[in-house]
């Protein structure tokens, strides 16, 4: 029985309930994942390590506690092992099917994967911001001291330090500033989101395409594929349902 047939075998009222409550798509995605990885079997040592890690994380320190957990979750032992195997299967399948496209995907995403660390002081008053900037430029004060004396944002709790953070997670204005200045340079105050900010770029961390990055990119491509496939299945299902 294929995925469409399995889903159509569910009562229409139940399918509608799954759709309305947001559970239909995760169910379809899991069914697709289960289908494409059904022939993958993790090595015993991988399953044993996964089980040990899982039990430690849940405080299942002996067999009795594990049995109680299984009963509460309405699972049997083999089903738990299958659940624990999902990350391994996802990684293996992603590399097998999308590993050859991982580097080109990385190059498209690199700007969002590069990270920076910067120091920041934010104040409401423009004149105060310029005074702080000049004191830093002339090395009359150090950044951390000024943060604790003047900064009005949560960065005060981290000595003004932000990051490492992806440039994609910063505002467009801040992203442009950080991309175009040298390490250690104090930037002239700018107005961002109703604040006047003084920034110093501390570190730039360029993303590198290594084995770990290849895995990450392959998994991203797999997730994109899974999204598209599940959308097709759901669209087909709803058409057949009428």
Residue 134, in any domain of the structure = yes
In a shared domain, residues 93 and 7: yes
Residue 211, in any domain of the structure = no
Q: Give the end-to-end CA distance of the chain in Å, rounded to a whole number.
A: 21
Q: How far apart are CA 101 and CA 152, in angstroms?
A: 45
Residue 215, in any domain of the structure = no
Residue 146's pLDDT is 95
The CATH number covering residue 192 comes to: 3.10.50.40
In a shared domain, residues 64 and 125: no
In a shared domain, residues 88 and 126: no
In a shared domain, residues 80 and 151: no
In a shared domain, residues 146 and 74: no
Q: How far apart are CA 115 and CA 96, in angstroms?
A: 28
State the Cα torsion 7-10-16-17 to the nearest 10°.
-120
Residue 124's pLDDT is 95
Q: How many domains does the structure of the chain reveal?
A: 2
* Full domain range(s) for residue 26: 3-105+222-241
Residue 4's pLDDT is 67
Tens-of-pLDDT digits for all 242 residues of the chain?
567 678 778 888 888 899 999 999 999 999 999 999 999 999 989 989 999 999 999 999 999 999 999 999 999 999 999 999 999 999 999 999 999 999 999 999 998 898 999 999 999 999 999 999 999 988 889 999 999 999 998 998 999 999 999 888 888 888 888 888 889 889 999 999 899 999 999 999 999 999 999 999 999 999 999 999 999 999 888 887 66
Residue 112's pLDDT is 85
In a shared domain, residues 119 and 186: yes
Residue 210, in any domain of the structure = no
């Amino acid at each position: 029985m294929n995925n469409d047939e399995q889903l159509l075998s569910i009562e229409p009222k139940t399918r509608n309930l799954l759709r309305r409550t947001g559970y239909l798509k995760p169910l379809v995605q899991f069914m697709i994942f289960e289908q494409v990885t059904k022939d993958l079997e993790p090595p015993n040592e991988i399953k044993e390590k996964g089980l040990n890690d899982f039990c430690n994380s849940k405080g299942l320190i002996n067999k009795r506690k594990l049995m109680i957990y299984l009963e509460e979750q309405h699972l049997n032992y083999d089903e738990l092992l299958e659940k624990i195997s999902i990350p391994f299967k996802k990684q293996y399948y992603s590399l097998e099917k999308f590993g050859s496209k991982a580097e080109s995907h990385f190059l498209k995403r690199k700007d969002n994967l590069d990270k920076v660390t910067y120091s920041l002081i934010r104040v409401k008053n423009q004149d105060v911001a310029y005074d702080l900037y000049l004191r830093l430029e002339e090395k009359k004060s150090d950044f951390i001291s000024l943060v604790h004396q003047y900064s009005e944002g949560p960065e005060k709790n981290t000595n003004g330090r932000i990051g490492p953070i992806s440039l994609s997670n910063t505002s467009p204005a801040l992203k442009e500033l950080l991309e175009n200045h040298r390490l250690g340079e104090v930037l002239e105050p700018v107005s961002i989101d109703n604040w006047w900010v003084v920034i110093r770029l501390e570190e730039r961390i360029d993303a590198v395409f290594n084995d770990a990055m290849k895995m990450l990119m392959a998994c991203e491509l797999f997730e994109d594929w899974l999204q598209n496939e599940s959308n097709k299945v759901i669209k087909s299902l709803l058409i057949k349902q009428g």
